[in-house]
Amino acid sequence: MPVYRRGIDRYRKWEAKFVPETVSARFTQVSDIAKERAQFGLNQWATVQDLVRPILDVYGITGPSRALYLGFANKLMMHMLRHGAEAGKKIGNGLKSYYVTAYGADPVILDEIIQVVTGWVIPY
C-alpha cells in the first residue's frame, strides 16, 4: 500500500533541508553564471517582443489584448528554444487553435506572429 506524503510531511522535509548559509553559499558560487544566463535569456524575450509589437501596431491591438498576443509569442518562443523552427511551426499552429478557441484571438495576427517568431534566428 503506497504511503502518500501530506503537506505537513513535505513542509517538515523542506524545513530540515533549508539552511540559509547553504543556500547563500550556493547562490554565491553560481552568481556569475546565473547573471550571464539571465542577460542572454532576457535579451531573447525582449527581442521577440520587439519583433511582435510592430505587428500589433499594424492591426491596432491595444490594452490588455496586447498582452494576449505577446503571451502567445512568448509561449511559442519557449517551445522554439527547445525544439527548433520546424517543430515550432507545428506547435505554433496548435497554440493558435487554442488561443483562437479559448481567448478569441485573431488567427491572422497569430499566423503573422508564428511567421516572425519561427523565422527569427536565435543567437547562440
pLDDT for residue 49: 93
| 52 belongs to a structural domain | yes
Range of the domain at 57: 34-121
Give pLDDT tens digits for 6-65. 999 999 998 888 888 988 999 999 999 999 999 988 998 899 999 999 999 999 999 999
Calculate helix-pair angle for 107-119, 20-58, nearest 10 degrees: 120
Q: What's the domain count of the chain?
A: 1
| pTM of the entire predicted model | 0.75
Residues in the chain: 124
| 115 belongs to a structural domain | yes
| 95 belongs to a structural domain | yes
Give pLDDT tens digits for 93-116. 999 999 999 999 999 999 999 999
Q: What is the CATH number of the domain that holds 76?
A: 1.20.58.800
| 28 belongs to a structural domain | no
| 76 belongs to a structural domain | yes
> CA–CA separation, 2 vs 50, rounded Å?
51
C-alpha cell at 113: 506572429
pLDDT for residue 84: 80
> CA–CA separation, 77 vs 109, rounded Å?
16
